[in-house]
Amino acid sequence: MGRIFETHERLPSREENRFLPPVVSFEDFVERKTAHQQLAFTEFTGDLKKSPSDSRSYRLIRLHNGLVAMVVHDEEESKACASLDVNVGSLADPFELQGLAHFCEHLLFMGTKKYPAENEYNAYLSAHGGYANAYTDLEDTCYFFEVTYDALEGALDRFSQFFIDPLFTADCTDREVRAVDSEHKKNIQNDMWRKYQLEKELSSPQHPFSMFATGSQDTLSGAAQRLGVDLRERLLDFHAKYYSADIMRLVVVGRDSLDQLTEWVVSRFSGIRSKGMTKPLFKGHPLTPREMGTLIRMQSIREKRSLDLIFSMPDMKPYFGTKPTHYLGSLLGHEGRGSILSLLRKRGWATSLVAGRSPTSAEGFDMFKVSVSLTESGLDHYEDVIRAIFAYIQLLRAQPPQKWFHDELRRIGEIEYRFMEKFEAVALASRLANVMQNRYLTPSRILSDEVIFDEFDSDLIEWVQGFLAPDNVRIMLAARELPVEFDRTEPHYGIKYRVDPIPEQLKQDIRGKLVFDELQLPEPNRFIPDNLEVKYTKQKDRMPAEAPTLLKLTEGLELWFKPDDRFFLPRGNVRLLLETPRAYESPLNSVLNQLFVMIIKDSLTEITYDAEIAGLWFEIRSTVEGILVHIDGFNDKLMRLLRTLVETLRTFRVDATQFEVFSHEVRKKLDNARHAEPHSHVQTNTGFMNQAVMWRYMDKLAAFELVTQERLQLFINTLFDQTRLQMLVLGNFDEQDALDASDMVKSLLNCQPLPEYARRVSRATLHDPGVFVHHDRMPEDGNLNSCVDLSVFTGLMADRRNRVLLDLVSLIMKEPFFDQLRTKEQLGYITYSTERKYTGGYMSLCLLVQSESNPSYVRMRIEKFIRGFRQRLVDMSESSFAGYVNSLRVNLEERLKNMFEESGRLWRAINMGFYEFDRIPTDISTLMQLTQADVVAFWDKFVNRDTASEYKALAATIWSTKITQPTEAQLEQYPACVIALAGCLEHDGAVGLSYEDISSFVHKELPSISAGDSTARAEEEALEALLAKYLGKVNGDDEQVAKALAKIRDAASYVRTAISMAREYAEQQQQQQQKPAMVNGQQDVEQAKHANGLFNIGAVKSHGGDWVFREAARFKSTLRQSGAPVPTRPLVPKY
């Protein structure tokens, strides 16, 4: 049947490895019974050692089937969640059915014995403001969900059944193969996935790491067919073998008490069968001596150059306490003075370097990776880059491990843990569920595993450091253009590559003595906070302020301040917008600003790297308004960092090396935008057509030839001559700190104030009534997918009532849309609906599908869903409607978890210009007054094309180069169902019928078939009539024709659905007694030409009455612009 991979019968022992800690036992667990049902379980009675700043309560329990669970009580949490990690992943795939573990992850959601409806789980979560997701890794498959706090019990009941009695129905099995295949195909042009697969492909064939993990139609249903086995039966076997309670770890977070959460967990999950197993532990290592000592060169899709040094290591999970790979990664990946990266940057060879334990590691083996992003010059000098890395390794090995550096990391970790901020519950659950799988991790370290260090262990570090050896490395070099001939092709992604021994001279050099005078160990970190005093204390019955205080408002300064009255931590958050219209007044200036910011961040690295390590995160970002500076972290030395950033911005001088390196980097980023996924392209196009000012990558590329070092320096010198400061100071500060900070910034900038009327505020375009369709073509040939992004406009954002109605409709629609178009119709892996709001402009209901099928067909399926959705709104029960209202209310009430989130919420209110700090309570008040009739009326006013008096819609479509795009004449002449049917035939390989042939079939033959009834028999008759027409045009004995016929006759073929839509069209035409050849007639078209100038910009009016255009910029030029946002409150400064 295929290759068999050997497994260990026992775990390694301390006799084999003296550094190995003992496996965790359950000795500190005592017998307990649940409060209500008196169900037995055991509970850990030791100290979990949670952070002093953590307000959550934790309980670690073990069920009698072996499942270990952590229940977490959080009385402030508006959302509840759960995550279950099964300690088996793609390494357990059978060789002959690669991707089976991932396929199992997909199928598990599709119905259970207790809840057989395939979308029952997702429908329940969606109706209660939640969602679900999962991922498959090498040794884990993790499932998680989020839901409103009051719906947790029902969610857990449904969730648990996936691990007790999943159905894996045959119908779902067939459809989800296509979903897995679609997921794989969306990754084919992604360099990250390509590199990962090549690492696997070129690892030891005796280890399961070498297999293809994602799976595809070929490796799943295709392989099963070739083997003569039933894929569903093999899936059931896989689930029965590996999905055992013994290797499951569960985390549940909710507002309910620990006793109640425990009751639910024990009662729901004790039914999972225990098979008395541990996960398979495979023998050997993916990287044997046969794989080491090699240089792999691969061709990338994007314009990027990367170098990876991969070292083979034994499993590092047991050493969670001393963290030797973290110690080594922190030194090799350091970015301060004397570091490898500092040297490479000064020589113009690299822009970034990351070092540490590879994420492609699993129990039984590890890899340590040094990854470098090379410049063009760095690619030419890649051997010197490798020499520099090994020179630093030699520097480390020439002296004992540095206890002071370990102690510094330990001190930072202790501070971080002591004042740890809260993060999302679902992220906590999925992280803990995975952490708990480490068989060496003691319960007291589960919560602190990522940050707390144990005592310094010099011997262990030296032992691990010994694996960073010249004979224990393999090198991967990736670029779009390499001066070699690629002689191999990877089968799943089509990656072109070659493998050679490491060049002999380089091999000798890295084995010998290497000296780079610039390299040295880092200096002590001066940004570690000293003063951790908290200025404010929590006062009983006093709620946090809703809005910040406006301290100053002058022509050149808008200063807001809010003390930390919510979290009471020694942290701060400062946002500073340097408003300067020059930054974005043209594509050229936008490029110059982007280049300036990139060079600034690079120049600051040696100074600011220590700050980031010590818990001071910062960002400098180019925006439409100017430059945004944002700092978050411990407040003790935050203002010192702010001074450094602003001072550097104002006084910066560009040197030739920096300009050479980063002008290429900016050019590379712009060029790489061409290789983005279709869904990214359509969202860019949609944003461009909805925002008054936005420069696209092609606009910037066109201006790039004007970029010179002299022009950049002139731009920098004058950028801040007239500037307006918009500033928010939040956290462990007082008013004087905020005033001093603004004075410091003003003094450093030394600029004239920007007049209010000269500000570049956000504006949106205002669309006219009608349906407007943008046709674009993918800019590169490799992607099989196309995409449709349909926006239906629903009024102005300033209308609070409509804004809440849109949020409610979007919530109601989310799951049904996904279920119909993604799950049932399998149009594409990326399928979702959402809402968009443009500052000062319209809001829209957005529906997006990325698919291998043609956009005309996809758009028709989206529109059919919209047409049918009104009835769903009408038929919804009172309880269902109340559930959606409650879910949206809970979503709106979700409490802020950390200062970063609070700053983000306040900054959006400030920066958008509405100053709507009371938005949430206002929206909740509006929501609670809405009725089901209001929702239907909203739908009829804006979304229902038959009733909306001023229906406005914009469809952004992008077509794969593999798909034939209709011409303007064809769009005018043929109805959408003809174009869609032609595209579906092409998708299945049936090429030969012209648009005229298909139009004749739709208008002349379908009506007679449709005259009877709409039964399956009539549909089959219509299908066979079309195929007969097709066979009359081609050679029926041709192998490609036979394959096309098989695809079309498949029950899941898009052609069947396209014929069904064509039948509906034919019946409507008969009922209306209209001639099908041309709608409106030539006279009406001529009138339309005079009535709407869109003809003059190259747009055409389609057969169905929609405006179709190809040039987005010309269409945008016909649109009006919104005014500036109007504040919802008076702006009166305190000083």
Active site residues: 105
Asked if 596 contacts 707 with a C-beta cutoff of 8 angstroms, the reply is no
Say how many Å lie between the first and final Cα of the chain, rounded: 80
Q: Which two tokens mark 555?
A: 């022509």
Quickly count: other Cβ atoms within 10 Å of residue 295's Cβ.
20
In terms of C-beta density within 10 A (0-12 exposed, 13-18 middle, 19 or more buried), how is residue 727 classed?
A: buried
Amino acid code (one letter) for 240? A
213 — alpha (psi -120 to 50), left (phi > 0) or beta? alpha
Token pair recorded at residue 703: 């201006």
Q: State the Cα–Cα distance between residues 1135 and 561, nearest whole angstrom.
A: 12
DSSP letters along 730-772, please?
A: EES--HHHHHHHHHHHHHHH--EEPPGGG-----BEEPPSEEE
Q: Is 843 exposed, middle or buried (0-12, 13-18, 19+ CB in 10 A)?
A: buried
- Picking from 465, 184, 520, 123, the residue whose alpha carbon sits closest to that of residue 334 is 520
Residue 138 is classified by DSSP as S
272 close to 94: Cβ distance less than 8 angstroms? no
Rounded Cα distance between 305 and 373, Å, is 6
What would you report as the CA-atom Rg of the chain, rounded to the nearest whole angstrom?
Answer: 31
DSSP string, 320-361: TTT-HHHHHHHHHT--STTSHHHHHHHTTSEEEEEEEE-SS-
Q: Does an H or E element contain 435, and which? A: helix 425-435
Per-residue tokens: 790 = 């349909």
Helix, strand or coil for residue 788? strand
| Strand-pair partners of 43 | 30, 61
User: Buried b / exposed e across 119-141, counting CB within 10 Å, b at 16+?
Assistant: bbbbbbbbbbbbbbebebbbbbb
Contacts of 795 (CB under 8 A, 6+ apart): 802, 806, 842, 843, 942
Q: How far apart are CA 682 and CA 847, in angstroms?
A: 12
Q: Dihedral of CA 991/961/828/975: which sign? A: negative
Quickly tell me which residue has 């370990």 as its tokens. 406
8 Å CB contact between 314 and 365: yes
**Residue 135's closest CA among 155, 106, 169?**
106
In the structure encoding, which two tokens stand for residue 732, read together? 């462990």
Is residue 213 within 8 Å of residue 200, measured between CB atoms? yes
Residue 481 backbone dihedrals phi, psi, to 5 degrees: -130, 120
Distance CA 874, CA 857 (A): 27
Q: Are 536 and 732 in contact (CB under 8 A)?
A: yes
Distance CA 656, CA 215 (A): 48
Q: Taking a C-beta distance cutoff of 8 angstroms, is the pair 2, 95 a contact?
A: yes
Other Cβ atoms less than 10 A from the Cβ of 520: the count is: 14
| Contacts of 878 by beta carbon, 8 Å cutoff, 6+ apart | 932
Amino acid identity of residue 1010, one-letter, is S
- E strands, 275-317, are 294-299, 306-313
